[in-house]
Amino acid sequence: MAETPTTPLRAEQYLAPETLAQLAPFELRAKRIAEGLMNGMHVSPRKGSATDFASHRQYVSGDSIRHVDWKVFARSDKLQVKQFQQETNLNVVVLVDGSASMQFGTLKTKSGWGGTKAQRGRIVWTKYDHATAIAAAISFLALRQRDQVGLGIFADGIRSGVRRSGSNDHWRSVVRCLAADPVESAVAWERVADQAVSQNPHHTLFIIISDFLAPPAVIQSALSRLGHRGHDVILVTVLDHAERTFNMDVDAAFVGLEGEPQLEVETRKIRAAYLAELEKHLNDMDRIARSFRFDLEVFDSHESVGPILSSLLARREAILRRRIRG
């Protein structure tokens, strides 16, 4: 049975993975993340009215005549449509990596915890668990702020998803979709990018949550498709603590989750080289992200989700201000 905390928790506490793992069912977990985060924010960027006037634009066929500014029509004999701030909210599409490599995790959880995948018979908190928790929380926050949120879970393509919407009950659809298990295949990045672009022709903020363990060139190629269409992208890299530190003292046969050949490894002897390779990979990813003016955040699945969500919200505000300015 899930354990529900009986005493109020600080935001940092219940945004920690151990806390998240105890928050079952899944919806409750996501709400707590978002509420905890909101409570931690002192000033909400969405305190004002959603109906404040922002600008005019020319009427096009299909526009509701309710928004036609008749006063302007009377003065200039032109049909202009009033635009309000509410209508400048973001289109947010969260893309969650559901490939086999996301099934990796080393944070042990107790029986009954909310981990989604058992690895070798043990309940563990996987990178996918962490990614879905982040995605659910982001979705919740975005919907609360009247953004339109879409979701896609990808691997060798976007396998499942939820169309973009801003309705109040849309969040439950997002959560149901996130509850699906990851698949056993690897990520086909370019295909996923093409699908995402085709499904979202308008300016969209893509939040891609993945471990990004593919070759940087492949990822760069995929991101270029998004960047060239003018989309904003935030890359959320989720890595397990063991992957980040490689602080193991075992001689083992490492088996790839995506079908890679087995490797005999003495961890002590290659730890330095592994960490160097990881650093190089992350540097490459950072360089790619900067080249497209994208943001990159590295996220440890054993650590709190709070900072990254705060970062995301700040990023969202920056995008909004940039658009309003024009």
Partner 1 sequence: MTFASLGLAVAAVAGVAAPILIHFFLRRKHQPVEWAAMALLKRALERTARTRRFDQWILLVVRCILVLAAGLAIAGPLLRKSSEQEFAVQSQVRERAIVLDDGVAQQVVRGGTTAWEDARKRAIGVIDRCAPGDRVGILRGVGSRAMVWPPSGDLDAVRSELMLAEASLEGSDVVAAARSASEGGRDVIILSDFRAGSIGSDRSKESAPTTGRRAAAVLYEPQSDQPLNVQALAVETRSSGPLPSRDLHPLRVRLQRDGTSLPRSTSTIEVRTDGGPPSTLRLDWDAGQMLAQVDGTITASMGAQQTDLAVEAKIMESDGQPADNAVYGVVSGAGSIRVLLVDRALPEQSDKQEDTAATWMMRALTPVEGTDITVDATDPAALDAARLRGVRAVMLLRPDSMDAAGWNVLAQAVREGLVVWVFAPANRSITWSADFQRAFALGWVIDRARPKPGRAAADDPSDRRIEAGQTPSPLLSQLGAELDTLLQPVVVSESLSVRVPANTGEVVLSLSDGSPLLVHAQPTDCRGCVLLMSTAMVTDWTSLPTKPLMVPLVQEVLRQSLARVERATVERIGSTVNMPGAIALEPTLSLSASGLPEAKVIPLDADGKAAQPLQVPGVYRAVDARGRRIAWLVANVDLRSASVRPTSSGEVVTLFDRVDAIIPDPPTVERAIAAAPGVPVERGGETELPVAAALDGVSLAPWLFAAAILALLAESALARRASAGATSSALRGVEP
Helix (H, G, I), strand (E, B), or coil: what is residue 111? Answer: coil
Separation of alpha carbons 51 and 86, rounded Å: 6
Task: Examine residue 319 and tell whether it contacts partner 1 (CB under 8 A).
Answer: no
Looking at the DSSP bridge assignments, the partners of residue 177 are none
Task: Examine residue 306 and tell whether it contacts partner 1 (CB under 8 A).
Answer: yes
Task: Examine residue 63 and tell whether it contacts partner 1 (CB under 8 A).
Answer: no
Q: How far is the CB of 56 from partner 1 (least distance, A)?
A: 45
Helix (H, G, I), strand (E, B), or coil: what is residue 317? Answer: helix
Task: Examine residue 39 and tell whether it contacts partner 1 (CB under 8 A).
Answer: no
Residue pointed to by tokens 């995790």: 105
Separation of alpha carbons 224 and 221, rounded Å: 5
Residue placing its CB nearer to partner 1 in the complex, 211 or 295 = 211
Q: How far is the CB of 40 from partner 1 (least distance, A)?
A: 13
Strands 148-154 and 158-165: antiparallel
Task: Examine residue 165 and tell whether it contacts partner 1 (CB under 8 A).
Answer: no
Q: How many residues bind partner 1 (CB under 8 A)?
A: 61
CA distances for 93 relative to 90, 138, 203, angstroms = 9, 10, 10
CB 156 within 8 A of CB 167: no
Residue placing its CB nearer to partner 1 in the complex, 35 or 258 = 258
| Among residues 27, 69, 147, 240, the one that binds partner 1 under rule CB under 8 A | 240
Closest to 161 (Cα-Cα) out of 198, 122, 126: 198
| Subset of 189-218 contacting partner 1 (CB under 8 A) | 211, 213, 215
In DSSP notation, 193-240 reads: HHHHHHH--S--EEEEEE---S-HHHHHHHHHHHHHTT-EEEEEEEE-
Separation of alpha carbons 126 and 118, rounded Å: 9
Task: Examine residue 121 and tell whether it contacts partner 1 (CB under 8 A).
Answer: no
| Subset of 264-303 contacting partner 1 (CB under 8 A) | 264-279, 281-283, 286, 298-300, 303
Task: Examine residue 42 and tell whether it contacts partner 1 (CB under 8 A).
Answer: no
Q: How far is the CB of 24 from partner 1 (least distance, A)?
A: 20
Residue placing its CB nearer to partner 1 in the complex, 171 or 294 = 294
Chain residues in the site for partner 1 (CB under 8 A): 12, 15-16, 101-104, 119-120, 127, 211, 213, 215, 239-241, 243-245, 247, 249-258, 260, 262-279, 281-283, 286, 298-300, 303-304, 306-308
